[in-house]
């Protein structure tokens, strides 16, 4: 599923009201009955106006008609949810235009967007439950048992959790993108001008970058946190160029960490496993890519555990609960992320020894590949940030 903002400008304010009504109705109804949409939208033009908007929205795929034995109605599609989120970001003047897609995660779309002043930012759209690509049959069976509502619910939770942690980490001075806004299943953050570690074939001093990355793991731990997916895709490496007094140029590398929906507390029952996995992921990558082996063993969980909250360090693991997450929400999200990991492991197994970015860097399904052949998407996935920005503003946004 790809974000296509072309229809956005053609929606009238009544259409937005009706779309919002379908979203509201979805809270209690898997399929929102038409009379309920009419009631929630309360358009001045009356029922016929609502029906006109319903057709317009269904035509561009923002809502979908569902025929049930009991009653007919509509459900919000992922596209509809995307539009509502973008509409909110646009009304709050966070996003003015949408540009290229720079990343397709297994469970997200990453787009470059710009605000009114033209400043570029990143929009991350969570799509939990979108396990597709070279899927094995069991994934398809698993998908069948999931209804769209639970995908949306989980994607929303992922965005909320990621935003809460990004805020907390940013406030504590960690090198993370600046969190700018969150709406539904999306977040807006600053654009980091850097490549993922995965794309870096050589570094002047692997030992020093390794030490920085391990010390970030330890610093997170001292605040009660484990990243949980600390790999070469989720570490961006900034190159800071400087010139000394003699005119000699040097480059220092500065890691920036991203991707936080799966973060766990140092108190989690499986904390040690997650901690060790993060550490080993870095070790394995440095060995394979840079032929680097650290001289010291560890770091070890039991030592890191002793540093949690030491000297009055702020505990950040309580962040998520403090931001309104219930235990059930956390459990639901954790279960979904675990399922995703199991599927990912199955896929990665086959490509374990491939170290070439180009070969497995593109995770798109064939269907999506075809869609990208059209004029709007053809340049979207080449990783180059520059491109056309599609303005969002519509008559409905007054």
Task: Select the binding partner of residue 290 from ligand ADP, Mg ion, none (C-beta < 5 to 8 A, by kind).
Answer: none
**Degrees, nearest 5: CA angle 115-120-124:** 90
In the complex, minimum distance from the CB of residue 102 to ligand ADP, in angstroms, rounded to a whole number: 6
Residue 375 designated active-site: no
258 binds ligand ADP (CB under 6 A): yes
105 binds ligand ADP (CB under 6 A): yes
**CB-closest chain residue to Mg ion:** 259
Nearer to ligand ADP, 102 or 209 (CB): 102
Inter-residue contact 3 to 390 (CB < 8 Å): no
Coil/strand/helix, residue 256: strand
Task: Select the binding partner of residue 110 from ligand ADP, Mg ion, none (C-beta < 5 to 8 A, by kind).
Answer: ligand ADP
259 binds Mg ion (CB under 5 A): yes
In the complex, minimum distance from the CB of residue 199 to ligand ADP, in angstroms, rounded to a whole number: 8
- Residue 154 half-sphere exposure toward CB, CA atoms < 13 A: 23
Inter-residue contact 51 to 74 (CB < 8 Å): no
Task: Select the binding partner of residue 223 from Mg ion, ligand ADP, none (C-beta < 5 to 8 A, by kind).
Answer: none
Q: Which stretch binds ligand ADP (CB under 6 A): 100-108, 208-216, 265-273, 327-335?
A: 100-108
In the complex, minimum distance from the CB of residue 381 to ligand ADP, in angstroms, rounded to a whole number: 11
Of the candidates 233, 292, 325, 357, which one interacts with ligand ADP according to CB under 6 A?
A: 233
Distance (Å, whole) CA 84 – CA 388: 22
Inter-residue contact 260 to 280 (CB < 8 Å): no
15 binds Mg ion (CB under 5 A): no
Residues whose CB falls within 8 Å of the CB of residue 211, separated by 6 or more in sequence, listed in order:
none
Q: Which stretch binds ligand ADP (CB under 6 A): 26-34, 99-107, 216-224, 270-278?
A: 99-107
For tokens 């060995």, what's the residue?
Answer: 287
Label each residue of 128-181 as H, E or C.
CCCCCCCCCHHHHHHHHCCCHHHHHHHHHHHHHHHHHHHHHHHHCCCCCCCEEE
Q: What are the φ and ψ backbone dihedral angles of 97, each rounded to 5 degrees?
A: -145, 160
234 binds Mg ion (CB under 5 A): yes
H/E run at residue 219: helix 206-222
Binding mask 167-186 for ligand ADP (x = CB under 6 A): ----------x---------
Q: What is the set of active-site residues?
A: 229
Per CB under 6 A, residues contacting ligand ADP are: 102-103, 105-108, 110, 122, 124, 177, 189, 191-192, 196, 233-234, 258-259
């Amino acid at each position: 599923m790809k974000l296509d903002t072309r229809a956005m400008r053609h929606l009238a304010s009544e259409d937005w009201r009706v779309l919002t009504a379908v979203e509201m109705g979805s809270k209690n109804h898997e399929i929102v009955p038409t009379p309920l949409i009419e009631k929630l939208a309360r358009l001045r033009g009356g029922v016929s106006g609502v029906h006109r908007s319903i057709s317009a929205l269904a035509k561009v795929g923002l809502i979908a008609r569902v025929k049930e034995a009991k009653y007919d109605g509509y459900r919000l599609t992922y596209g509809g949810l995307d539009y509502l989120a973008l509409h909110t970001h646009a009304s709050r003047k966070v996003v003015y235009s949408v540009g290229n897609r720079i990343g397709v995660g297994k469970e997200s779309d990453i787009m470059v967007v710009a605000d009114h002043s033209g400043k570029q930012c990143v929009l991350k759209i969570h799509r939990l439950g979108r396990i597709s690509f070279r899927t094995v049959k069991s994934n398809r069976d698993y998908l069948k048992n999931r209804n769209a509502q639970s995908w949306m619910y989980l994607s929303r939770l992922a965005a909320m959790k990621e935003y809460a942690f990004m805020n907390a980490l940013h406030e504590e001075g960690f090198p993370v993108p600046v969190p700018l806004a969150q709406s539904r299943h999306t977040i807006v953050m600053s654009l980091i001008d850097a490549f993922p570690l995965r794309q870096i074939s050589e570094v002047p001093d692997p030992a020093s970058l390794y030490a920085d990355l391990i010390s970030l793991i330890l610093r997170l731990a001292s605040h009660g946190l484990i990243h949980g997916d600390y790999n070469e895709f989720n570490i961006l490496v900034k190159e800071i160029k400087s010139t000394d007094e003699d005119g000699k140029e040097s480059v220092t590398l500065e890691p920036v960490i991203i991707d936080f929906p799966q973060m766990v507390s140092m108190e989690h029952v499986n904390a040690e496993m997650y901690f060790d996995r993060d550490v080993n992921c870095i070790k394995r990558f440095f060995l394979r890519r840079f032929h680097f082996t650290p001289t010291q063993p560890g770091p070890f969980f039991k030592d890191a555990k002793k540093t949690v909250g030491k000297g009055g360090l702020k505990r950040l693991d309580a962040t998520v609960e403090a931001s309104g997450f219930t235990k059930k929400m956390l459990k639901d999200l954790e279960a979904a992320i675990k399922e995703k990991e199991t599927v990912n492991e199955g896929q990665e197994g086959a490509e374990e020894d491939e170290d070439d970015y180009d070969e497995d860097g593109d995770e798109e399904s064939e269907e999506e590949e075809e869609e990208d052949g059209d004029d709007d998407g053809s340049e979207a996935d080449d990783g180059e940030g520059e491109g056309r920005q599609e303005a969002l503003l519509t008559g409905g946004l007054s």
